[in-house]
Amino acid sequence: ITEGLPFLTLKLALSLDGKIALSNGESQWITGPAARKRGHMLRAQSDFLLTGAKTVLKDHPRFSVRIEGLEDASPAVGVVYDSDRANQDIVDWVQTNRPDWTLLAGWDFRGHLAGLAEKGVTRVLAEAGGGLAQALFAEGLIDEVVVFRAGKVLGGDARDGVGVFDFQSLDQAPHYTRVETLALDEDFMEVWRKA
C-alpha cells in the first residue's frame, strides 16, 4: 500500500538441485499431490496471477483453483510477452482459448504491478519460468518466495528455476529470510520473505 504495489509472491516447484523441468521441458509432475494442492491454495489467496508467454504456449495451463468448494476463488490471469518480438502465437492463443486473461505487452513489471494496484489488486502470484522469475528478482519486486521442493535430482542440463544473473559478489544477490517450513508428504514447502 505504501509503495503503490501489490504484494508479489513467486511460486517455484523445484527439484533438489533447483530445477523446474527436464531439458526437454517435461515438468509434470516434479512435486506430489499434497504440494500441488497447497499451490492451488496460493492461487485461491491471490487476486491476480502473473505468468509468461513461454509457459502458456508450452503447458497450456488452466491456472485455476482445483480444490472442492474453492473453484470460484481462481485469480485473474495476466500473460507477459515480449512486444518487441514476433509473439502473435501467444496473442492468438489467449484470444482463442482464454479471452478472459489479460495480455501484458513488454517487460515493464513495475508499471504492470502499479496498474494492478490502482485497480485494487493487493496480492499477485507469479507462476512462470526462469526468465520471468529472474526479471522480477532483478527489479526487486518479489516480496515472498514459496518453494515446493521434491526429492528428485534432474541434473545440469535441466531447466533452472531462476534465469542467469551477472553478479560479481554475493552482496548483489537478493536476500530472503525463511519464515516457514512445512512437510507435505514426501515434499517440503519453504516460505521465504524479503530480508
C-alpha–C-alpha distance, residues 153 and 151, integer Å: 7
pLDDT digits (tens, 9 = 90+) for 85-97: 668 888 888 889 8
Long-range own/partner contacts, residues 71-75 (CB < 8 A, 24 or more apart) = 73/43, 73/44, 74/43, 74/44, 75/43, 75/44, 75/46, 75/47, 75/48, 75/49, 75/125
Q: Residue 58 corresponds to which cell in the numbers above? A: 508450452
What pLDDT band is residue 150 in, cutting at 50, 70 and 90? Answer: very high
Is the pLDDT higher at 125 or at 168?
A: 125
Contact 195, 154 (CB under 8 A): no
Sole residue written with cell 520473505: 193
Helix residue ranges per DSSP H, the chain: 33-44, 53-59, 88-97, 109-118, 130-138
Cα separation values, 136 from 55, 73, 171, Å: 16, 25, 18
Q: Look at residue 84 in the predicted model and tell me its pLDDT.
A: 64
Rg (CA), the chain: 16
Q: Look at residue 86 in the predicted model and tell me its pLDDT.
A: 62
Strands 19-21 and 159-160, bridge-based pairing: antiparallel
pTM of the model: 0.89
C-alpha–C-alpha distance, residues 15 and 37, integer Å: 17
CA dihedral 92, 94, 98, 101 (to 10 degrees): -140
What pLDDT band is residue 193 in, cutting at 50, 70 and 90? Answer: very high
User: Is residue 33 pLDDT above 70, yes or no?
Assistant: yes
128-132 average pLDDT score: 86
pLDDT digits (tens, 9 = 90+) for 51-93: 988 888 887 778 778 877 787 878 888 988 876 666 888 888 8
User: Is residue 8 pLDDT above 70, yes or no?
Assistant: yes
User: Is residue 28 pLDDT above 80, yes or no?
Assistant: no
User: Is residue 160 pLDDT above 70, yes or no?
Assistant: yes
Q: Look at residue 85 in the predicted model and tell me its pLDDT.
A: 65
